[in-house]
Chain A
Amino acid sequence: MTDAVVYVVDDDRSVLASLESLLSCEGYQVLTYESPKDFLAARCPDLPGCLILDVRLRGASGLEFQRELARAGIATPIVFITGHGDVPMSVTAMKSGAVEFLLKPFRDQDLLDAVREGIGRDRRRRARDAEIAALRVRQAALTPRERELMPLVASGLMNKQIAAQLQLSEATVKVHRAQIMQKLQARTIADLVRIVDQLAGSGT
């Protein structure tokens, strides 16, 4: 499992050391930071990961840091740990997308499960991102005219209907359609619909 990294941010060095030991024993690559600032300043490896975050951090709270990360577009899943938690705190954390909210001292299995879940999420997200990135590359190969046609084809219109709408010949539309299918590597219309959906869903 060395293809995954766990970041730990806690201002208690002893807690950092214990978590590093536990997680490295489970085969994770572990990077520890004493403050959110250190974490932001560090260069993170391009690997699926998970962030273990203490709720109470220097000056600011871990919950605020969670929002800050979200604003900065850092989507690493977060597992919160805290020495004093209450219900509103955990609700806020979970609503903002935290994987888990654990009270210190926690059972090691709970933490490891949460970390596994977080890394799983991150891996899926990365796979999705990679797929979309690949699609974008393919999309970039389309000509403007083809790009104009793509949503019409995906919406299930016949060549004849498209030709009428854009005032083109049916043969031209047919050529464009074949080009689009080929460039986006879509074998069927269903494939094309999925690809267009993905591209639309990820924003432009």
Chain B
Amino acid sequence: MNGFTLIFGLLAGLYGWGWWRLERRGRHWPRWRLILFWGSALALAIVLSPPLMQWAHGDFRGHMVMHLVAGMIAPLGLVMAAPVTLALRNVPARWGRRWVGFVSSLPIRILSHPITAAVLNIGGMMALYLTDLYAVMLHSFGFALWLHWHFIIAGCLFNWAIAGPDPAPQRPTLEWRFGVLVVSMAVHAMLSKWMVQFHFPASVPLEQVRQGAELMLYAGELPEALLVYLLARQWLRLRYRDALTASVASDAR
């Protein structure tokens, strides 16, 4: 138990409360989304619990497992559970309008642009592994804590910017988002190979780096492939509409 357990427990409780309130009023909210959110929050609480933190501190493979779950897999689950949409259905409509106004504002649009989100993610990883920051992190509790939050939040931002179901007014076109996703995946793969060939982070034994980097490449493909699939579905639904809906729609015209 630590602060992370408390925070993710609280968030899971809030989501459950929002779901229950809708359910009580007979409004539908898919149960898989509730399970997805709870599962992701639980995964975060587990990988950020003291015993796993200790493993990650002493072993690069442990660090990479933590990074995969906290920075890639759990954020995908949290974002696809559409927590903002659920919250907006539970509050007065004017709050919703205010929220849409807030996410349409220029600073938020810049921050949540796929390119910004990708740079925060992959750029953060490059800075951590290719410089001495990794060694600094091992010696500074405060910096390590800040990094955990950085990768969790940047992961959520990236997944939301690319294919999140929550409201995102004026988001870039599908082509843009697809392009940024592919480039960031390629840089991720490239980085894992460079780490082995040129031995980064230098403070970690090479064999641990190799095993960690293989985890990073192969296990990291799972959430990446899911994100590609979700984005492709969005695009193909528009490109090839249901035959029935198409003919009904044009009959009604």
A binds B: no
